[in-house]
Structure 1
Amino acid sequence: MNSIDSVTLEVADTEAAARFYSEAFGLDPSRVRVRASDAPTDGFRGFTLSLVVAQPGNVDALFAAALDAGATVLKPAAKSLWGYGGVLRAPDGTVWQIATSAKKDTAPVTRDVDEIVLLLGVEDVKASKQFYVGRGLTVGKSFGGKYVEFATGTGTVKLSLYKRRALAKVAGVPAEGSGSHRLVLCGATQAFDDPDGFAWGPELSL
């Protein structure tokens, strides 16, 4: 295992979720998939997904499309020290960050997505880092016990680790949550759970 091939979101209504992700973000179902689940879940699910784009206008275009498709705003898109971005909650409950490091537009606005990043909120960043390194992932960036970013490898989704409470603050939601994460990470040859209960498994059929 050296990367994430795709992520699967477990949702109550697969047709509605698939329609939202197509209309809002134009996401390829080979990277972000949905499957039915009624597993109990409450509050923050412990992760966010990020769409990284080239410029602020692209952030705004994706934000507008997501709102039109039924998303709700957790943090409005705004300038910051690191760039420009905001946070949305999809109708299925998944928290999405849309961001760019660029300060201004330099090309025609599109809804093109340059990168998808899965950020897991974990209790012990160092322990989770060691766990994933032991499973074959390679560290790309590491900032002590605060943040870890793994090299993408051949996968299509980048994996990063952050403290759970810090990630909830970034997302604009309370850190408390219980029940299912409603998320499966695909890229392992055999199913397993990480120290925080995030599930991994083989690539799922479309």
Structure 2
Amino acid sequence: MPVIVSLPIADRLISYRFYRDGLGFEAIGDLADDGLPEPLQFVLDGGVRLMLIPTGGFGWVIGGREVAKPGTSECLFSLAAENSVAVDQKVERARTAGAEIVSEPQSQPWGYSGVFADPDGHIWQISS
């Protein structure tokens, strides 16, 4: 049984392109009228998937609770890279796809990492 992490998004096409081109994730599922998989899901690794849900639908899924405003972060998504060169490459790929760089790749006490926000403000860390 896969673990599915769901995030609210403002625009399906922008988010699809970001996660496909910026992070290299593979989308799965049947295509909807807009040419994108519905639901919009990406395989991350093994049994983990990422599902992107338009903000209005996300609010409905979580029982009418308020969806956090862009820039509000209660979760940090972390991806491992083989080494510092791979961290640099992955952060640059995300930047090219539209990421906002939160922290340029640099040495940290725990390793080498860079942090960026996706088009909806969700925070991702790449580290080695």
TM-score when scaled to structure 1? 0.44
Which protein has the larger Cα radius of gyration, Structure 1 or Structure 2? 1
| Distance in 2 (alpha carbons) for counterparts of 1:97 and 1:17 | 17
Unpaired segments ≥5 residues, structure 1: 101-206
The residue type paired with residue 53 of structure 2 is R
**Corresponding residue of 1:52:** 80
The residue type paired with residue 15 of structure 2 is A
Match of residue 35, structure 1, among 22, 42, 53: 53
Matches within 5 A, 1:34-113: 34-38=52-56, 39=59, 40-42=67-69, 43-100=71-128
**Corresponding residue of 1:5:** 3
The residue type paired with residue 107 of structure 2 is K
1:153-175 alpha-carbon deviations (Å, 9 max, x no partner): xxxxxxxxxxxxxxxxxxxxxxx
Alpha-carbon distance, 1:95 to partner: 0.5
Contact 2:100-2:117 within 8 A present in 1 as well: yes
The residue type paired with residue 44 of structure 1 is T
| Distance in 2 (alpha carbons) for counterparts of 1:33 and 1:81 | 32
The residue type paired with residue 9 of structure 2 is V
| Distance in 1 (alpha carbons) for counterparts of 2:6 and 2:74 | 15
Runs of 4+ in 1 over 3 A off after TM superposition: none
TM-score when scaled to structure 2? 0.69
| Residues 62-71 or 28-37, more deviating | 28-37
| Distance in 1 (alpha carbons) for counterparts of 2:88 and 2:2 | 27
The residue type paired with residue 36 of structure 1 is P
The residue type paired with residue 15 of structure 1 is L
Tell me the C-alpha RMSD between the 2 structures: 1.7
| Distance in 1 (alpha carbons) for counterparts of 2:89 and 2:115 | 13
Higher relative contact order (CA 8 A, sep 6+): 1
**Corresponding residue of 2:31:** none
Aligned residues: 98
- Identity rate, percent: 30
Unpaired segments ≥5 residues, structure 2: 27-41, 44-48, 60-66
**Corresponding residue of 2:30:** none
Contact 2:88-2:114 within 8 A present in 1 as well: no
| Distance in 2 (alpha carbons) for counterparts of 1:88 and 1:61 | 13
